[in-house]
């Protein structure tokens, strides 16, 4: 039976290999194909178990980058089930949940891209974290991003299951800019003063200090405005 130390070393070696490939071979949009084992100034911190019974691994990047690297290491990857209770509004009514959502708080993203991001976050598994008092792009593509913002008194920031971010972004999509003939979509979700999720415009190459507030609604997003009716 392989020791935990050997198992951990093998996984870290695989991560290093893929990280080096990503740095050496940038994509057409200057985004790495795979995530990084260190904070590159964009994306979120992900922690999760890649192999059943294996150690918890830490990666940094966007949800699609992390998911691609995890699958490259373990093509049979299945997210581990959760057995914890998250501090969210899950016990509230649908109406109460909707009351925490604000539409058009920032410039718009493309609804199709935002849907893809929500799906990636939901199936990624593991935990997504953002540093204290920061907003990080958990997913980003084209001119669209999904942000996780720390709103908690915890000095270490916010750390929640990634599928929660996917669920909250889907809640926003279902509540805001519902005219599907228009591609613009934007909104935010605030929980019990612990974290918030935002969807809308993003520059995937912008520094990590670039927050939703840097893109006020109506600022000229190429995705147009937030339309509820035709």
Asked whether residue 135 falls in the same domain as residue 68, the answer is: no
3-class DSSP state of 149: strand
Report whether pLDDT(110) > 60: yes
Question: Which residues, 6 or more positions from 193, have their beta carbon under 8 angstroms from its beta carbon?
Answer: 151, 152
Asked whether residue 207 falls in the same domain as residue 115, the answer is: yes
Per-residue pLDDT at 107? 98
Of the two residues 194 and 230, the one the predictor is more confident about is: 194
In a domain, 78, yes or no: no
Per-residue pLDDT at 34? 57
The tally of domains found in the chain comes to 2
Report whether pLDDT(84) > 50: no
In a domain, 80, yes or no: no
In a domain, 82, yes or no: no
Expressed as residue numbers, the domain containing 171 is 94-214
In a domain, 63, yes or no: yes
In a domain, 223, yes or no: no
In a domain, 110, yes or no: yes
In a domain, 186, yes or no: yes
3-class DSSP state of 114: helix
Per-residue pLDDT at 92? 39
Per-residue pLDDT at 224? 95
In a domain, 207, yes or no: yes
pTM to 2 decimals?
0.79
Give the Å distances, CA to CA, from 14 to 1, 20, 50, 57, 174: 20, 10, 12, 12, 39
3-class DSSP state of 20: helix
Which pLDDT band holds residue 169 (cuts at 50, 70, 90)?
very high
């Amino acid at each position: 039976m392989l020791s935990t130390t050997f198992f951990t070393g093998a996984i870290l070696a695989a991560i290093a290999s893929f990280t080096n490939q990503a740095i050496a071979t940038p994509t057409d949009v200057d985004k790495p194909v795979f995530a990084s084992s260190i904070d590159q100034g964009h994306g979120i911190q992900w922690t999760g178990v890649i192999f059943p019974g294996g150690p918890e691994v830490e990666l940094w990047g966007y949800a699609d980058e992390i998911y691609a690297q995890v699958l490259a290491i373990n093509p049979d990857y299945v997210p581990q089930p959760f057995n914890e209770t998250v501090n969210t509004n899950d016990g509230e009514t649908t109406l109460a949940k909707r009351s925490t959502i604000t539409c058009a708080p920032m410039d718009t993203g493309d609804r199709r891209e935002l849907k893809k991001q929500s799906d990636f976050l939901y199936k990624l598994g593991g935990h997504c974290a953002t540093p204290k008092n920061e907003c990080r792009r958990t997913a980003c593509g084209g001119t669209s991003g999904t942000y996780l913002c720390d709103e908690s008194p915890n000095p270490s920031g916010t750390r929640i299951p990634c599928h929660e971010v996917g669920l909250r972004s889907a809640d926003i999509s279902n509540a805001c800019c519902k005219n599907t003939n228009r591609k613009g979509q934007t909104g935010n979700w605030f929980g019990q003063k612990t974290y918030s999720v935002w969807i809308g415009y993003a520059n995937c190459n912008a520094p990590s200090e670039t927050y939703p507030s840097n893109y006020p609604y109506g600022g000229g997003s190429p995705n147009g405005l937030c339309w509820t009716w035709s």
